[in-house]
Amino acid sequence: KKQSLVLGIETSCDETSAAVVLNGTDVLSNIISSQMDVHRRFGGVVPEVASRRHVERMTLIIEEALTKANVDLSELDAIAVTQGPGLVGALLIGVAAAKALSFATSIPLIGVHHIAGHIYANHLVKPLQFPLVALVVSGGHTELIYMEKHNHFVHLGRTRDDAAGEAFDKVARLMGLPYPGGPQIDRLATQGSPSYDLPRAWLESDSLDFSFSGLKSSVMQLIQKAEGRNEKINEADLAASFQQAVLDVLVEKSIRAVKKAGVKQLLLAGGVSANSGLRVQLANRCEQERIDLRIPPLELCTDNAAMIAAAGTYLFYEGKFANLSLNADPNLSL
Ligand code: KG4
Ligand code: ZN
């Protein structure tokens, strides 16, 4: 197989990241600059602020990634950039940087789907074994995807309203917890028990789709009722109850998807795969069912450019290049 050195660039949300990956598997560098500190006081990512931050950091981060990998720009085989989905203004910064680099050096350009990137984060740990099913759970996505081979994605199910991470963030906000809410709820949940009765949206019996907005409304009503009666909510118990309601559905539908697709491997991907309850419960269930579960380490679960470079490498192998008309697409489909 050909040696390949790919630069990855990721700016779809609030992380400015650049990475160099060898052969789609070896991370030579993965520089991630988080903007969490700037957005926290607004209680969420402010798109305009994110774009400005990306502009300030992008060039430095790319230089740092090349330096740390000890790679010269001229040695690169391809430049892979997140094309979408994400915040359009944020995506544009990465795409513009990648296009400028490609134009200046004549190194081929590749547009990568952000979710493909999340899935390929697992490939950086151990090569993917096809066919497989991936559960992608992030701030923007909750999707079950079937992969028969590289670069080949089939949707088995997706959220019909809020994404899982979005539900965590919104419920955390209702509870007065700081942004991002996922890690806060995760931490609180370990101190409580799921004693509040909250709904699980199973939808139609054969559906692998998700819905989390009803659950969010139930939490809101529960909090309002308690306030009306001057009762105190047990925050840890509420966090544990909400988290369990999300996890029950995520775990059960993932197992069903694996069985329906007749595969042996399940990949977890996206920011919510950092959730400690999800990691443990999915691992237990997969062990019972003899499913080979792969979960990336924490630093590869959330947004980073190494996963984009890895996914981009397989597009490179198939000669799927972009040209300089490549544009950011906030609604890019997989
Ligand atoms: O993949 P990611 O970094 O960005 C997107 O592409 O959305 O995912 C961020 C999401 C946020 O909603 C955040 O609250 C959630 O992942 N998250 C968690 C945990 N850590 C991050 N949700 C639940 N438990 C966690 N430990
Ligand atoms: Zn993401």
Domains of the chain: residue spans and CATH = 5-120+301-317 (3.30.420.40), 127-295 (3.30.420.40)
322 lines ligand 1 (CB under 6 A): no
10 lines ligand 1 (CB under 6 A): no
Looking at residue 34, what is its pLDDT?
86
Residues 6+ apart with CB under 8 A from 259: 289
Q: How far is CA 236 from CA 186, 188, 243, 248, 313, in A?
A: 10, 5, 10, 18, 43
- Distance (angstroms) between ligand 2 centre and the Cα of 183 equals 15
24 lines ligand 1 (CB under 6 A): no
Backbone angles phi and psi of 293, in degrees to 5: -95, 135
Sheet holding 15-22, edge to edge: 26-34, 15-22, 5-10, 78-84, 109-113
- The segments of the chain whose pLDDT lies below 50 read 1
162 lines ligand 1 (CB under 6 A): no
143 lines ligand 1 (CB under 6 A): no
Q: How far apart (Å, rounded) are the C-alpha atoms in residues 34 and 135?
A: 24
The yes/no answer to whether this complex scores an ipTM above 0.90 is: yes
Q: For the CA atoms of 269, 24, 29, 268, what is the dihedral angle to 10 degrees?
A: 10
Nearest CA to ligand 1 atom 23: 182
Q: How far apart (Å, rounded) are the C-alpha atoms in residues 309 and 304?
A: 9
Looking at residue 37, what is its pLDDT?
82
Backbone angles phi and psi of 84, in degrees to 5: 165, 175
Question: How many CB atoms sit inside 10 A of residue 95's CB?
Answer: 24
Backbone angles phi and psi of 68, in degrees to 5: -65, -35
Q: Name the closest ligand to CA 180.
A: 1
Q: Cis ω on the peptide bond leading into residue 178 (within 30° of 0)?
A: no
Nearest CA to ligand 1 atom 2: 271
Q: Could you tell me the pTM of the whole model?
A: 0.94
- Distance (angstroms) between ligand 2 centre and the Cα of 199 equals 27
Looking at residue 2, what is its pLDDT?
60
Q: How far apart (Å, rounded) are the C-alpha atoms in residues 100 and 192?
A: 51
> Which ligand 1 atom is the nearest neighbour of the CA of 164?
12
140 lines ligand 1 (CB under 6 A): yes
Q: Cis ω on the peptide bond leading into residue 85 (within 30° of 0)?
A: yes
DSSP states of 6-56: EEEEE-SSSEEEEEEEETTTEEEEEEEEE-HHHHHTTTS--HHHHHHHHHH
Identify the three-state secondary structure at position 146.
strand
Q: Are 211 and 203 in contact (CB under 8 A)?
A: yes
Nearest CA to ligand 1 atom 14: 182
- Distance (angstroms) between ligand 1 centre and the Cα of 101 equals 30
307 lines ligand 1 (CB under 6 A): no
User: Chain-centre distance of CA 258, in angstroms?
Assistant: 20
- Distance (angstroms) between ligand 2 centre and the Cα of 182 equals 13
Backbone angles phi and psi of 196, in degrees to 5: -85, 140
- Distance (angstroms) between ligand 2 centre and the Cα of 301 equals 8
